[in-house]
Amino acid sequence: MSTDLLGKSALVSGASRGIGKAVAAELLRRGANVVITARKPEPLEEAAAELRALGHQGEVVALAGNSGDPDSRAAAVGRAVSEFGSIDILVNNTGINPIYGALMDADLDAVRKIFDVNVVAALGYIQEAYKAWMGEHGGAIVNVASVAGIRSSGVIAAYGASKAALIHLTGELAWQLGPKIRVNAVAPGVVKTKFADALYSADEERAAAVYPMKRLGVPEDVARLIAFLVSDEAAWITGETVRVDGGLLSTGGI
Ligand SMILES: NC(=O)c1ccc[n+]([C@@H]2O[C@H](COP(=O)([O-])OP(=O)(O)OC[C@H]3O[C@@H](n4cnc5c(N)ncnc54)[C@H](OP(=O)(O)O)[C@@H]3O)[C@@H](O)[C@H]2O)c1
């Protein structure tokens, strides 16, 4: 068992399923204590029970709340510090995409909501973690972006623009918060979760065929990368956005 995060305290937002839950499991496996959040309390408690049942040394605290709500963010960060004595690791994993299709048809309230949850809430969480612990003691932050924030997608354009903003925010914050705090991002391709269902479930083989690795991602692919980025092994990496996309962005037109 890896123990490189032994005694560290982590907060993973949006972690009752999918990538966030896999990240929480990987951080626990490496020795960390973890606070997980999501909006719906019941699935969140079920996820916490599943994570505890993995039998790792670290503790799991589940706190229901919307990442878009400032009080929920403050409560989650406060809980990590009161329960575990610190918040050394923050994974801004919450992301929403309520609209598909042409930007000319996009409902602007929905676009605002996408930016609020995917970008503003991530900054809000970082501000809370900074005030509560990291500003004085340091830490490592990973923002979960997307390949849609690097290359245009067409179908999920507003979401992609929000992830591009999150990638830019990552670089600005790495500059402003170094040397004590490292801030990185990951940019996954399609990962098999509920969130991405509409992008692949009708014909998974066809969706996977465009990837050099000839398969779609699974949450653990992303979780292992995030665990590396928050560990001391990544001590000289900050401001970076790492693709975890089975090679997708290495393909395309000339
Ligand atoms: N799956 C992909 O192909 C893919 C690709 C690139 C990037 N990403 C990014 O990866 C991240 C995780 O996605 P996923 O695929 O793992 O999604 P998922 O399986 O749908 O899980 C989303 C998690 O976030 C929670 N959540 C959603 N909205 C929330 C909010 N406003 N406040 C707090 N929690 C919230 C959900 O629980 P509740 O519903 O109970 O709140 C759930 O626990 C997102 O940032 C997404 O943009 C995903």
Supply the pTM of this predicted model. 0.98
Residue 28 lies inside a defined structural domain of this protein? yes
Determine the pLDDT at residue 224.
98
Dihedral of the CA atoms 177, 137, 225, 62 (nearest 10)? Answer: -120
Ligand 1 contacts CB of residue 94 (under 6 A) = yes
Q: Whose CA is nearest to atom 42 of ligand 1?
A: 14
User: Ligand 1 centre from 221 Cα, in Å?
Assistant: 15
Q: Are the CB atoms for 163 and 209 separated by under 8 Å?
A: no
Determine the pLDDT at residue 115.
98
Ligand 1 contacts CB of residue 149 (under 6 A) = no
Residue 113 lies inside a defined structural domain of this protein? yes
Ligand 1 contacts CB of residue 37 (under 6 A) = yes
> Is residue 211 among the annotated active site residues?
no
Residue 4 lies inside a defined structural domain of this protein? no
Per-residue pLDDT of the chain (254 residues; tens, 9 = 90+): 577 999 999 999 999 999 999 999 999 999 999 999 999 999 999 999 999 999 999 999 999 999 999 999 999 999 999 999 999 999 999 999 999 999 999 999 999 999 999 999 999 999 999 999 999 999 999 999 999 999 999 999 999 999 999 999 999 999 999 999 999 999 999 999 999 998 899 999 999 999 999 999 999 999 999 999 999 999 999 999 999 999 999 998 66
Query: Which domain does 49 fall in, by range?
Result: 9-190+218-251
Residue 210 lies inside a defined structural domain of this protein? no
50, 146, 167, 202 from 212: Cα distances, Å: 33, 17, 24, 20
Q: Which residues contact 113 (CB under 8 A, 6 or more apart)?
A: 68, 96, 98
Question: Which has the closest alpha carbon to 133: 172, 177, 170, 166?
Answer: 177
Q: Is 194 helix (H, G, I), strand (E, B) or coil?
A: coil
Residue 176 lies inside a defined structural domain of this protein? yes
Q: Which residue(s) pair with 139 in the sheet?
A: 181
Residue 196 lies inside a defined structural domain of this protein? no
Locate 21 and state its tokens: 């839950």
Ligand 1 contacts CB of residue 143 (under 6 A) = no
CATH number of the domain that residue 233 is part of: 3.40.50.720
Q: How far apart, in whole angstroms, are the C-alpha atoms of residue 227 and residue 74? A: 23
Residue 201 lies inside a defined structural domain of this protein? no
Q: How many folded domains does the chain comprise?
A: 1
Residue 208 lies inside a defined structural domain of this protein? no
Measured from the Cα of 195, ligand 1's closest atom is 20
